Structure 1
Amino acid sequence: MKLIVTGATGFVGSEVIRQALRNARVSSMVAVARKPSKKQDPLEVKRVCQESTIAGLKAMHDAGPANPFRFLYMSGVAAERDQSKTPTFMPEYTKMRGETENQVLAFAARHKDEGFEASVAKPGLITDGSWYKAAVSFALKYTNIVPSVSVEEVAAAMLQQVVDGFEKDPLENADLIRLGKAAMQQQVKS
């Protein structure tokens, strides 16, 4: 399995790379990163999160990748695919992320005959074991506001899904926890 990781210097991207390097089924890897941007202009966020995602997907398609080609888009638990709804939390951003999910899935559906497969990971709060994130995660979990998943679990689940094939779409927070734990147990056995 050849792996392309975009956002490689990010929190989850770094963990995906760390785990992929230990995975004997990953034969090669390309890591793509960009410099962090201090600019949070909504148009720049859309360019990076949506337009660059779709442009990258099209470029990979045009390069004639191996069959099957699996593309896992990492979104978030609040992203809204139904563009007729108006989310209460960051409505423009969550609708934009949901529209990106729609575009990724539509692209894969149009190219299904060429071996393109896609799914979306929708984690909640991603924790790293720090006391601050653990406290926030605990509070959010027990108030049912936002679910949480560890960075190790989400990375293991995402890596397992692109290597073995997608179980479903979307991969919700609970799916990422379940799949991540199972993948990490498998790694220990190997």
Structure 2
Amino acid sequence: MLTIGLTGGIGSGKSRVADFFQAWGAAVVDTDVIAHQLTAPGGQAIEPIRQAFGHEFIAPDGAMDRERMRTRVFQDAQARRRLEEIVHPLIFAVTKAQTLAAKGCYLVVVVPLLVESGRWRDRVDRICVVDCDTATQVRRVQQRSGLSVATIERIMAAQASRQQRLALADDIVLNDGDTTLPLLEQRARAVHQAWCALSG
């Protein structure tokens, strides 16, 4: 099955674009959703995180305390590596199982940190970047999550740059500040039709 790695910076709109592809018959495996499941109450990553970081990083409901962990890993590169060593192998195992079971006209694997990880180029046939300018990213993330501009800029600084993502892209879906939902759908559909032709 033709396999697409879908990526984009925070606030680029990659989830919305993935939803379009799924509605048009693609199989979608979202590593961000998997990561949330692993760190939810009862998730496979919770006990290793508790052992590595302490009880204070587990919220009262039993999920990972995302806010506390975000603050910690942005201040401490070693802590970030430790968290990645716990979570990344689990994400990869679940992703692999889901991709093997996937059925659709092609497969989309949504990987927010595809460029940064360096692991995905040889695991996918094509890389598709959902692209937008940085000012639009900041505005969208603020509207969605209420994070401060400083926090959003720290997250963006830890991610690949727009130029680095575009340099790896086989396909680009532009979703900048001027993009309406119908226009985004039109751009996504053009890419979808090209992939259907390739996988046909």
Whether TM-score is above 0.5 comes out as no
Q: Which has the higher contact order (CA 8 A, sep 6+)?
A: 2
TM-score normalized by the length of structure 1:
0.36
Q: Return the structure number with greater helix share.
A: 2
